[in-house]
Structure 1
Amino acid sequence: MKTEPTEPKLDRRIVKTREAINKAFLELFAERELEQITINDIADRANVNRGTVYLHYADKYDLLDRCIEEHLSQLITFCGDHDPERKPGAMADELEPVFIYLQEHFKFFAAMLSGERTRIFREHLMQFISVNARQALERRAEPLEIDAELNAQFVASAFVGIMEWWIRGDMPHPPRYMAEQLRRMFEKNDVRH
């Protein structure tokens, strides 16, 4: 009897170690600039040796990039799976899961959007949003009078700016309110998909 090959499960110890390293890194990142953080600092805070950190990440820049990629990937998954019964085109319903995810991962986003660190994260986030905005705009039935790339960049800049304001202001409004307000702003400026 022939069995199908299965994908090996990730060892729980490896998962726990990575989680400890990521948590330690984000805590340090919230306290000081990236240039001031060493692998020893991360290892000490995570209660592992520095060789263990290097076993999982090439350096602190690789760790930062992978943290950002992981959160953006989780954001895509979370938003796509959040409400499978929502009506297509209901922008506030599409935006609310984004704000819920931001709220649930506030510490990460607050750390990413503070001080000099903003540039690196902002570039990744702008790329993520503009690609998704461009795809949504391409699905529109009526032809656009505005260049699709310019429109996507406008949407991305507006969203990232609002998100930064919300996170830096310690989330002064609930996710549903933010989604509804952003929907109204986009509709007022004829940015719909």
Structure 2
Amino acid sequence: MDVRVERTRRSLQDALLDLARERPLDEVTVAEIAARAGVNRSSFYQHYSEKETLLADALDAAAEAAAATLPGHYEPPSGPPQALVQFLQHIDEHAELYRSVFGGTGSTAVLARLRARIEAIVREGLVSSPTPAYEGVPLDVIAAGITGSALGVVEAWLMRDPRPSVEVGAEWVWRALLGPGGSWA
């Protein structure tokens, strides 16, 4: 992708996330996003058809950034992986935005894209570090189960008031994924 296109898209994504920290996403306009990103409105529409697509790209980028910290060969650590902690830090920083995505008035398209991105990351991890624990179960089924469980715990953590720390949320996700046995062996 052209560096200028990538830079403009990143600026628009950052602008949306910044504005969503200040007030509900429904109140943020395309004109405000463009102004915060330092581009004009027509530039917004050259890259995105609507705010929802921009939001989905911004959340994809956050998941991808967290996944980039995962090692090539994965050995389950004794606690939550740093990539999970980083992803929850991003969610925590943009809690109101993620609450709207996960909540009853959220965008099913944005949530579906986030789920698909995380499933792809999980599949890649399972392929690069196979474990006998899932022998005989299709890879897409395992990836969907891990993703659904993780997102379910993330949503429950996110909706708590007061919300526990990122470290506590990461520990909850990790323990839910390990299950009662607590081991992949």
Report 1:2-81 matches (<5 A).
18=12, 22=16, 26=20, 30=24, 32=26, 41-43=29-31, 52-57=40-45, 61-81=49-69
Cα displacement string for residues 114-173 of structure 1 (whole angstroms, at most 9, x for unaligned residues): 333241222011101111122222222436232221111111111111122222225621
- Counterpart of 2:141 in 1: which secondary structure? helix
CA distance 1:25–1:120, change in 2 (3 Å): farther
CA distance 1:30–1:113, change in 2 (3 Å): farther
TM-score normalized by the length of structure 2: 0.68
Q: Is the 8 A contact 2:157 2:163 kept in 1?
A: yes
Aligned equivalent of 1:120:
109
Aligned equivalent of 2:119:
130
Aligned equivalent of 1:111:
100
The structural deviation recorded for 1:181 is 2.2
Question: 138, 158, 165: which is aligned to 1:174?
Answer: 165
- Counterpart of 1:92 in 2: which secondary structure? coil
Rg (Cα) greater in structure:
1
The structural deviation recorded for 1:185 is 1.9
CA distance 1:180–1:30, change in 2 (3 Å): same
RMSD: 4.0
Cα displacement string for residues 4-37 of structure 1 (whole angstroms, at most 9, x for unaligned residues): xxx8778x9x7998479636874798264xxxx7
The whole-number CA distance in structure 1 between the counterparts of 2:9 and 2:48 is 18
CA distance 1:172–1:158, change in 2 (3 Å): same
Question: 129, 139, 146: which is aligned to 1:148?
Answer: 139
Q: Is the 8 A contact 2:52 2:107 kept in 1?
A: no
Flag structure 1 segments of 5+ consecutive residues without an equivalent.
1-6
TM-score normalized by the length of structure 1: 0.66
How many residues are aligned here? 174
Flag structure 2 segments of 5+ consecutive residues without an equivalent.
none
